Chain A
Amino acid sequence: MSTVKTPSVALNDDAPAVRSSIWGWMKSQLFSTPLNCLLTILSAWLLLATVPAIVEWAFIKANISANTAQECRGTGGACWAFIYEKHRLILFGLYPYDEQWRPLIATCILLGVIVLSGVRRFWNPSLVLIWTLALVAVAILMWGGVFGLKFVENSLWGGLPLTLILSTFGIAFAFPFGVLLALGRRSKMPAIKSICVVYIELIRGVPLISLLFMSAVMLPLFLPEGMSIDKLLRAQIAIIMFAAAYIAETIRGGLQAIPKGQFEGAESLGLNYWQMMRLIVLPQALKIVIPPLVGIFIAMFKDTSLVVVIGIFDLTQAAKAALTDQSWRGFSSELYIFIALIYFVFCYSMSKYSQSLEKRLSTGYKR
Chain B
Amino acid sequence: MTQPKTSAPLGKRISWNDPGVRSIVYQVIALCAVGAVVWFLVQNTLHNLSVRNIASGFGFLNREAGFAIGESLIDYGPANDYRRALTVGLLNTLRVAVVGIILATFLGTLIGIARLSKNWLIRKIASIYVEVMRNIPLLLQLFFWYAIISETMPGPRQALKPLPGVFISNRGIKIPWLQGEGLSWLVWGLLLAIVAIIVLSRWARKRQEKTGQIFPIWSVSTALIFLVPPLLWFFSGTSLSIDMPELKGFNFAGGITLSPEFAALIIGLVVYTSAFIAEVVRSGIQSVNYGQWEAAGALGLKNSLVLRLIVLPQALRVIIPPMTSQYLNITKNSSLAVAIGYPDIVSVVNTTLNQTGQAIEGIMIIMAAYLTVSISISLFMNWYNTRIALVER
- Which residues from chain A sit less than 8 Å from chain B, CB to CB? 1-10, 13, 28-30, 32, 36, 39-40, 43-44, 47, 188-192, 195, 202, 204-210, 213-214, 217-218, 220-225, 298, 302-303, 305-306, 308-309, 316, 320, 330, 332-333, 336-337, 339-340, 343-344, 347-348, 351
Residue of B nearest to A196 (CB): B30
The answer to whether A333 and B152 touch across the interface, beta carbons within 8 angstroms, is: yes
Whole-angstrom distance between the alpha carbons of A207 and B113 in the complex?
30
B83 at the interface (CB under 8 A from A): no
The answer to whether A344 and B135 touch across the interface, beta carbons within 8 angstroms, is: yes
Whole-angstrom distance between the alpha carbons of A152 and B3 in the complex?
73
Q: Which of B63-71, B186-194, B368-376 contacts A (4 or more CB under 8 A)?
A: B368-376
Cβ contacts under 8 Å, B143 to chain A: 316, 320, 332, 336
The answer to whether A221 and B360 touch across the interface, beta carbons within 8 angstroms, is: yes
B339 at the interface (CB under 8 A from A): yes
The answer to whether B119 and A221 touch across the interface, beta carbons within 8 angstroms, is: no
The answer to whether B30 and A195 touch across the interface, beta carbons within 8 angstroms, is: yes
The 6 closest A-B pairs by CB, nearest first: A347-B135, A191-B27, A29-B120, A207-B332, A302-B137, A332-B147
Mark out the residues of chain B between 342 and 393 whose CB falls within 8 Å of any chain A CB in the assembled complex. 346, 350, 353, 359-360, 362-363, 366-367, 370-371, 374-375
Q: Which of B45-53, B72-80, B218-226, B248-256 contacts A (4 or more CB under 8 A)?
A: B45-53
Residue of A nearest to B331 (CB): A207
Cβ contacts under 8 Å, B120 to chain A: 29-30
The answer to whether B119 and A306 touch across the interface, beta carbons within 8 angstroms, is: no
B335 at the interface (CB under 8 A from A): yes
Cβ contacts under 8 Å, A202 to chain B: 367, 371
Whole-angstrom distance between the alpha carbons of A105 and B121 in the complex?
43
Within the complex, what minimum Cβ distance (angstroms) separates B329 from chain A?
9
Whole-angstrom distance between the alpha carbons of A29 and B350 in the complex?
53
Whole-angstrom distance between the alpha carbons of A32 and B28 in the complex?
70
- Apart from A191-B30, A222-B44, A309-B339, list 5 A-B contacts with CB within 8 A: A29-B119, A218-B360, A303-B137, A333-B148, A343-B140
Q: A213-B363, A223-B44, A333-B148 are in contact. Are A3 and B119 (CB under 8 A)?
A: yes
Whole-angstrom distance between the alpha carbons of A306 and B137 in the complex?
9
Cβ contacts under 8 Å, B147 to chain A: 332-333, 336
Residue of B nearest to A214 (CB): B363
Mark out the residues of chain B between 96 and 129 whose CB falls within 8 Å of any chain A CB in the assembled complex. 113-114, 116-122, 125
Whole-angstrom distance between the alpha carbons of A218 and B51 in the complex?
15
B184 at the interface (CB under 8 A from A): no
Whole-angstrom distance between the alpha carbons of A5 and B117 in the complex?
9
Dominant secondary structure of chain B at its interface with chain A? helix
17 contacts between A and B (CB under 8 A): A4-B113, A5-B307, A29-B118, A30-B121, A43-B121, A43-B122, A47-B125, A189-B23, A209-B346, A221-B45, A221-B48, A316-B139, A316-B140, A316-B143, A333-B147, A343-B140, A347-B136
Q: A222-B45, A333-B147, A347-B135 are in contact. Are A1 and B338 (CB under 8 A)?
A: no
Whole-angstrom distance between the alpha carbons of A29 and B151 in the complex?
41
Partner pick for B121 among A44, A225, A306, CB 8 A cutoff = A44
Within the complex, what minimum Cβ distance (angstroms) separates A321 from chain B?
13
- The number of A-B residue pairs with CB atoms under 8 Å apart is 185
Most buried by B among A4, A320, A333: A4
Within the complex, what minimum Cβ distance (angstroms) separates A167 from chain B?
11
B242 at the interface (CB under 8 A from A): no
Within the complex, what minimum Cβ distance (angstroms) separates A166 from chain B?
13
- Which residues from chain B sit less than 8 Å from chain A, CB to CB? 23, 26-28, 30-31, 34, 41, 44-45, 47-49, 51, 113-114, 116-122, 125, 131-132, 134-141, 143-144, 147-148, 151-152, 285, 290, 293-294, 297, 303-304, 306-307, 311, 332-333, 335-336, 338-339, 346, 350, 353, 359-360, 362-363, 366-367, 370-371, 374-375
Residue of B nearest to A320 (CB): B143
Residue of A nearest to B125 (CB): A43
Q: A32-B118, A218-B360, A336-B144 are in contact. Are A195 and B350 (CB under 8 A)?
A: no
Whole-angstrom distance between the alpha carbons of A28 and B117 in the complex?
12
Whole-angstrom distance between the alpha carbons of A204 and B374 in the complex?
9
The answer to whether B140 and A218 touch across the interface, beta carbons within 8 angstroms, is: no
Q: A332-B151, A333-B148 are in contact. Are A343 and B136 (CB under 8 A)?
A: yes
Most buried by B among A7, A32, A207, A213: A207
The answer to whether A3 and B117 touch across the interface, beta carbons within 8 angstroms, is: yes
Whole-angstrom distance between the alpha carbons of A195 and B30 in the complex?
9
Cβ contacts under 8 Å, A213 to chain B: 346, 350, 363, 366
Within the complex, what minimum Cβ distance (angstroms) separates A116 from chain B?
22
Within the complex, what minimum Cβ distance (angstroms) separates B374 from chain A?
4
Whole-angstrom distance between the alpha carbons of A101 and B363 in the complex?
40
Whole-angstrom distance between the alpha carbons of A10 and B41 in the complex?
64
The answer to whether A5 and B306 touch across the interface, beta carbons within 8 angstroms, is: yes
Partner pick for A309 among B136, B333, B338, CB 8 A cutoff = B338
Most buried by A among B114, B125, B335: B335
Residue of A nearest to B373 (CB): A205
Whole-angstrom distance between the alpha carbons of A348 and B44 in the complex?
45
The answer to whether B119 and A30 touch across the interface, beta carbons within 8 angstroms, is: yes
Partner pick for A217 among B51, B346, B363, CB 8 A cutoff = B363
Residue of B nearest to A8 (CB): B297
